[in-house]
């Protein structure tokens, strides 16, 4: 069941990204770069990234890259996405740990109070 859900989510993500307005190549190129490239150059870049293939083939290529650990390059940073995720994992784990600690500090005492005062108004918190 989980495999079916993951497959459905991956299809949803892929096709949602492809349905967004705008040309992905033109989004990557800055305005000055767009003027410097001819239509043939832009078509060659589309071919290089496989955007001239059918959506089904693009999806299969995308899934293959994900299974091989290639998450692509960040449009803004121009670095591999895996590196960008790796840079942000420590702060994400830190925030998650803080949230767990705060929840633990608040939740355990409230649970004890509600258990001791069973049937009172405080039990319905």
Can you tell me the distance from the alpha carbon of 119 to that of 116, in angstroms, rounded to the nearest whole number? 9
Mean pLDDT taken over the chain: 86
Domain ranges for the chain, please list them.
1-70, 74-125
pLDDT per residue as tens digits for the range 41-86: 888 888 888 888 988 999 999 999 988 988 888 767 778 989 999 9
Can you tell me the distance from the alpha carbon of 69 to that of 86, in angstroms, rounded to the nearest whole number? 13
Q: Is the pLDDT of residue 101 over 90?
A: yes
Asked if residues 27 and 35 have their Cβ atoms less than 8 Å apart, the reply is: no
Q: How confident is the model at residue 28 (pLDDT cuts 50, 70, 90)?
A: confident
Range ranked top by mean pLDDT from 39-43, 51-55, 88-92, 111-115? 88-92
Asked if residues 46 and 52 have their Cβ atoms less than 8 Å apart, the reply is: yes
Higher pLDDT, 67 or 122: 67
Position 51 scores a pLDDT of 85
Ramachandran angles phi, psi of 32, nearest 5°? -70, -35
Average pLDDT, integer, range 20-38: 73
**Percentage of the chain with pLDDT > 70?**
93
Position 10 scores a pLDDT of 92
Reported pTM = 0.62
Asked if residues 35 and 14 have their Cβ atoms less than 8 Å apart, the reply is: no
Q: What is the CA radius of gyration of the chain?
A: 24
């Amino acid at each position: 069941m989980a495999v079916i859900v993951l497959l459905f989510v991956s299809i949803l993500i892929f096709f949602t990204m492809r349905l967004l307005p705008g040309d992905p190549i033109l989004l990557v190129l800055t305005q000055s770069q767009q003027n410097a490239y001819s239509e043939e150059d832009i078509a060659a870049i589309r071919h290089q990234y496989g955007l001239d293939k059918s959506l089904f083939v693009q999806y299969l290529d995308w899934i293959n890259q994900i299974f091989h650990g290639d998450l692509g390059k960040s449009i803004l940073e121009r670095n591999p996405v895996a590196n960008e995720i790796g840079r942000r994992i420590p702060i994400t784990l830190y925030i998650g740990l803080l949230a767990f600690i705060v929840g633990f500090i608040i939740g355990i005492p409230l649970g004890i109070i509600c258990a001791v005062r069973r049937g009172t108004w405080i039990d319905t918190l």
